[in-house]
Amino acid sequence: MKFKNAKVVVFVLMMALMASVSMIGIAQAAPAAKDITIVLIPKVGVPFFDDCNTGGKTKAAELGVKYEWVVPENTQGSTQVRILEDLIARHVDGIAISVNEPASVESPIKAAIAAGIKVITFDADSANSERLFYIGTSNKQAGFDMGKAAAEQLKGKGKVAFVTGQLGALNLNERIAGVKEALAEYPGITVIGDPQGTDDDLATAVSKCEDLLRANPDLDCVFGTSQVGGPAMAKVLESQEFADRKGKCLVYAFDDLVDTMKGISDGYISATMVQRPVRMGSLSVQNLYDLIVGNNVKLETIDTGCTVVTKANSTSYSKD
């Protein structure tokens, strides 16, 4: 009798164990795509990020996940912090953010990760945060390539200056560092003054460019390290006051706004560094989806690359 009871006990224990394993399997099952919410947060509402949105939205539709594009009303770090806090409260499944102020988002990113939300950065990083990895341009390398191209066109001599976007933006500062590293190989090239911040406002950029040219009549090149620098310089060089500076003051730009490409076509801009924003958005959604459902993902930077666009290839390059 005792032997039979022992067999019954073993049987019951085995059934309980199998049920437990089964329940664990159910608990760890990947969520259905339709139940997954992925959110992309750009720096601010400008045309460059429209392309990121296109890539993200297209990939989300392909995967069948819910997709949100949440645009900050300004470039202040506190604005992105509030957005992140709201998304944490809603417990969305994945977030990709292009960071305005790297230090400001460290705490909310940590909180999001602790809450089980997958967080990555795209376009602009917060390297000291707990984000899982970064997707976007290798900005220092892009800046280096930009500086090298300009230095060769300048034949290793001249005075140069920088017009940037937000002064605290990590990605823009990495570009500036890359340009300076390239220029360091040319002792005949001198950097004039500090980078001029514009907060990516075109009117502000135009004013800063005018001031640069008035204060430095012998300026040989302006590097626009955010998207407004190139169009602003083209607009200034088109004006009657600075018409004689066309071709004498080179312009190197970033991104491919309509006005930037027109500036290249009209000869006011020598070249622009075109990123691959569509690819950034697409890869952000794909990788967040893979992280959420448990697919194998390498937690390492994904460099989406950059193309030097001049008049010669202005009709043949790709943003994806």
Q: Determine the Cα–Cα distance for residues 170 and 127; give it in Å rounded to an integer.
A: 9
> What is the tens place of the pLDDT at every residue in 147-205?
999 999 999 999 999 999 999 888 899 999 999 999 999 999 999 999 999 999 999 99
> What is the tens place of the pLDDT at every residue in 34-49?
999 999 999 999 888 9
Ranges for all domains in the chain classified under CATH 3.40.50.2300: 33-137+277-305, 139-274
Token pair, residue 242, equals 């600075």
Q: Determine the Cα–Cα distance for residues 112 and 12; give it in Å rounded to an integer.
A: 41
pLDDT at 302 over 60: yes
The architecture that CATH gives domain 33-137+277-305 is 3-Layer(aba) Sandwich (3.40)
pLDDT at 221 over 90: yes
% the chain with pLDDT above 90: 85
Rg of the chain in Å (alpha carbons): 25
Choose among 215, 164, 122, 246: nearest CA to 177: 164
Give the pLDDT score at 170: 87
Give this prediction's pTM: 0.77
pLDDT at 134 over 90: yes
Give the pLDDT score at 24: 41
Pairing between β-strand 271-274 and β-strand 307-309 as defined by DSSP bridges: antiparallel
pLDDT at 16 over 70: no
Choose among 179, 315, 196: nearest CA to 256: 315
Q: Determine the Cα–Cα distance for residues 278 and 28; give it in Å rounded to an integer.
A: 32
Q: What is the DSSP letter of 168?
A: T
Q: In the CATH hierarchy, which top-level class contains the domain 139-274?
A: alpha beta
Tell me the residue ranges of DSSP E strands in the chain: 37-41, 66-69, 94-97, 118-122, 134-136, 158-164, 189-191, 196-197, 221-224, 250-254, 271-274, 302-303, 307-309
CA atoms within 13 Å, Cβ hemisphere of 214: 9
pLDDT at 12 over 80: no
> What is the tens place of the pLDDT at every residue in 48-89?
899 999 999 999 999 999 999 999 999 899 999 999 999 999
The structure tokens 């003051």 sit at 249
